[in-house]
Amino acid sequence: MSNSGKDASSISKGGQSLTEISDVQSLSVETIDLSTLFVNEVSSSGSFDLRQSRLGFFEKFLEAMPIPSLLVNESCQVAFANRACNRVAGDRGKIEGHHFKLLFPSSADGLRAEKLIDKVLHNRIPLVAEGVLGMDQIRVRGRIHMRSLRVRNVRTVLVVIENLVFSAEQP
């Protein structure tokens, strides 16, 4: 369905829905390429590679952000979640290494979110969606910004969650 140039496709379950709100007409192929952070100097033995220390810098940068930020890989698994993700998951250890869809109370929304991740990875276009995220008793109505990210041949999606409304359900 299209409404005023915005893709408003959504899946609802139990009153919750994840809706893609990206402006379809303004989308263009964009990938944040971090390959330039890496030095191509390799010793004669081929063992010198600064990749890990530079990636550490990027992870430290994400960690310092006060906004929940994740890196999601091609298998839709959360490869990295910063400390601010505690506001969405309660404990980021619950989501690192697990599927992105687990961040959504609605299984239909979780599947929709993973389809959007695939869309960003394959089309390399930034997308924005709105919906309810959270685990356990935590619920956050958020705007989810997704951007293609590449480090050499490895593609991931940078997911930044803008908190629109916060509510913690009481047990």
Give all domains of the chain, ordered by start, each with its CATH number. Answer: 2-168 (3.30.450.20)
Higher pLDDT, 62 or 28: 62
Q: Is a pLDDT exceeding 80 seen at residue 149?
A: yes
Which residues are within 8 A (CB) of 44 and not within 5 positions of it... i.e. 6 or more apart?
none
What percentage of the chain exceeds 70 in pLDDT? 66
Q: Find the mean pLDDT for residues 36-46.
A: 45
Which range among 39-43, 89-93, 123-127 shows the weakest confidence by mean pLDDT?
39-43
pLDDT of residue 60: 82
Q: How confident is the model at residue 24 (pLDDT cuts 50, 70, 90)?
A: low
Q: Find the mean pLDDT for residues 90-115.
A: 90
pLDDT of residue 42: 37
pLDDT of residue 3: 38
Q: Give, in order, the Cα–Cα distances in Å from 25 to each of 11, 97, 113, 171.
A: 22, 34, 21, 44
- Measured CA to CA, the distance from residue 62 to residue 83 in angstroms comes to 9
Q: Are 100 and 72 in contact (CB under 8 A)?
A: yes
Higher pLDDT, 56 or 98: 98
Which residues are within 8 A (CB) of 148 and not within 5 positions of it... i.e. 6 or more apart?
30, 31, 32, 120, 121, 124, 125, 126, 155, 157, 158
Q: Find the mean pLDDT for residues 16-27.
A: 68
What percentage of the chain exceeds 90 in pLDDT? 37
Q: Find the mean pLDDT for residues 123-149.
A: 91
Q: Find the mean pLDDT for residues 120-145.
A: 91
Q: Find the mean pLDDT for residues 83-96.
A: 84
Q: What is the pTM of this model?
A: 0.71
Task: Single out the residue of 145, 111, 163, 133 nearest to residue 32, CA to CA.
Answer: 145
Higher pLDDT, 55 or 89: 89
